[in-house]
Amino acid sequence: MENFFNNERILKSLWRWKIHIIIALIAAIAVSAIISSPIFIKPKYKSVARAYPINTELYSKESESEQMLEDLRSNDIKFKMIDAFQLDKVYGIGRDIPHYKSYIINEYDENVSFKKTEFESVEIKVLDQNPQRASDMVDSLIVFFHQLKKQQRNYKFMEIAVIAERDLKIKNAEIDSLSKVLTQLTEEYGLLDYDTQVEAATVGLMDAAANRGDTKPAKEIINSLKTKGLEFNRLHKQLQSAEHTADSLRLRYDYGVSQGTKDITYTIVVERPFPADKKSYPVRWLIVFLSTVATLLASIVTVVTIDYFRERSSAK
- Dmax (CA) for the chain in angstroms is 155
Instruction: Give the separation between CA 163 and CA 142, rounded to whole angstroms.
Output: 32
pLDDT at position 52 is 94
pLDDT at 155 over 80: yes
pLDDT the model gives residue 283 = 67
Question: pLDDT band at residue 194, thresholds of 50, 70 and 90?
Answer: very low
The model's pLDDT over 94-140, given as tens digits with 9 standing for 90+, comes to 998 999 999 999 999 999 999 999 888 999 999 999 999 999 999 99
Contacts of 296-302 with C-beta under 8 Å, sequence gap 24+, read: 296/21, 296/24, 296/25, 299/17, 299/20, 299/21, 299/24, 299/25, 300/10, 300/14, 300/21
Which residues, in sequence order, are CB contacts of 276 under 8 Å at separation 6+? Answer: 45, 46, 47, 131, 134, 135
The helices-and-strands tally (H runs, E runs) of the chain is 11, 4
Element of type H or E holding 126: strand 122-128
266 and 154 Cβ atoms separated by less than 8 Å: no
Q: Which residue has the higher pLDDT, 146 or 229?
A: 146
Please give the pLDDT value at position 32.
79
Rg (CA), the chain: 42
pLDDT band at 5 (very low <50, low <70, confident <90, very high): low
**Cα→Cα distances 240→173, 196, 288, Å:** 14, 16, 85
Residues contacting residue 262 through CB under 8 Å, at least 6 positions apart: 153
Give 226-232 contacts, CB < 8 A, sequence gap 24+: 227/189, 228/185, 228/189, 228/191, 229/191, 229/194, 229/197, 229/198, 230/194, 231/185, 232/182, 232/185, 232/189, 232/191, 232/194
- Distance between CA atoms of 130 and 146, rounded to whole angstroms? 25
Average pLDDT over residues 299-310: 80
> Considering the entire predicted model, what is its pTM?
0.69
